A and B are shown apart, each in its own frame.
Chain A
Amino acid sequence: MTSSWTGALRRYALRKLPPEKLLPESQPAYMASWIYVFGVLTVAALVVVLVSGGVLALFGPAWWHVSSVGKYVNSVHLWSVELFMAVMVIHLWGKFFMAAWRGRRALTWMTGAVTFLASIGTAFTGYVVQQNFDSQWISGQAKDALNAVGVGAWFNVLDFGQMLMWHIVLLPLVIGLLTVWHVLLVRMRGIVPPIGATAPGDER
């Protein structure tokens, strides 16, 4: 067998991410509960957030504040974020009370928690780049809090360009990568069984 880095990478990927685990045909019976739906609802809302945000980025503030279609897409972006945060927090409650870090799932829990924190930062920078009086008020208030903890010079909420880059480049990249990692971990380590139940393959 010839050795090449592409072949080694393929074998490593297949070993770490076997296709039957990436796209399973069945799931444990305990997944038949509405509380297990909120993870995929979060991902679905995130897709709408990203697509509507992409359309807003194409046309800019003069469009989303003035034209009727622009106002509509702006509202879709806002309300998909509202739904994203709501279903993500319900997902978080469900997993917290299920102690979802059990059974070698600590990294799944941690990537989800950090994605939640990154989402708060993304929502915040979104509010300060609306280009209206609301964003002026929020950034005017926030600068005092950020200056009080000593980061205002580095993370300047009154700098529209810097906040826009955080909102549409850096933080979406962080959320996107963490979400992919989180979902892959869910696939590889399986969904957490309810407390008292046993995951298939763990019977001992």
Chain B
Amino acid sequence: MAAATATRVLTAPVDLDRPGHYVHWGVIQISVANLVVIGLMVVVFVAALLLPFPRGKRDDE
């Protein structure tokens, strides 16, 4: 039971022993994995621009 739970937790969410999925758009071909990474980078970039930066107390305040 515990071993089965550990196996389920440690198993990769995506089966890496099978060929990857690809999207095709004209001459452009990209793996879904790379597309997801690029999407996450864009999300982080936009978040870095929009999220407020925590300000510590300054001596002159």
A, B in one complex: yes
Chain B interface bracket (under 10, 10 to 19, 20 to 34, 35 or more): 10 to 19
Nearest chain B CB to A148 CB, angstrom units:
18
> Does B3 have its Cβ within 8 Å of any Cβ on chain A?
no
Task: Please report A residues at the B interface, Cβ cutoff 8 Å.
Answer: 32-35, 37-38, 82, 86, 89-90, 93-94
Say yes or no: B41 contacts A34, CB within 8 Å. Answer: no
Say yes or no: B55 contacts A32, CB within 8 Å. Answer: yes
Mark each residue of chain B from 21 to 60: 1 if its CB lies under 8 Å from any CB of chain A, else 0. Answer: 0000000000000000100110011011101010100000
In-complex Cβ contact of A86 among B41, B47, B53, B55 (8 A)? B41
Since A32-B53, A35-B49, A86-B44 are in contact, a sample of 16 more A-B pairs with Cβ atoms closer than 8 Å, ordered by chain A residue number, is A33-B48, A33-B53, A34-B47, A34-B51, A35-B45, A35-B48, A37-B48, A38-B48, A86-B37, A89-B41, A90-B41, A90-B44, A90-B45, A93-B45, A94-B45, A94-B48
Main secondary structure of the interface of A (DSSP, over half): helix
Nearest chain B CB to A92 CB, angstrom units:
10
Say yes or no: B55 contacts A34, CB within 8 Å. Answer: no
A38: B residues at CB distance < 8 A: 48
A33–B54 alpha-carbon span in the complex (Å): 9
- Please give me the residue from chain B that is nearest to A93 by CB atom: B45
A53–B53 alpha-carbon span in the complex (Å): 33
22 A-B contacts, Cβ less than 8 Å apart?
A: A32-B53, A32-B55, A33-B48, A33-B49, A34-B47, A34-B48, A34-B51, A34-B53, A35-B49, A37-B48, A82-B37, A86-B37, A86-B40, A86-B41, A86-B44, A89-B41, A90-B41, A90-B45, A90-B48, A93-B45, A94-B45, A94-B48
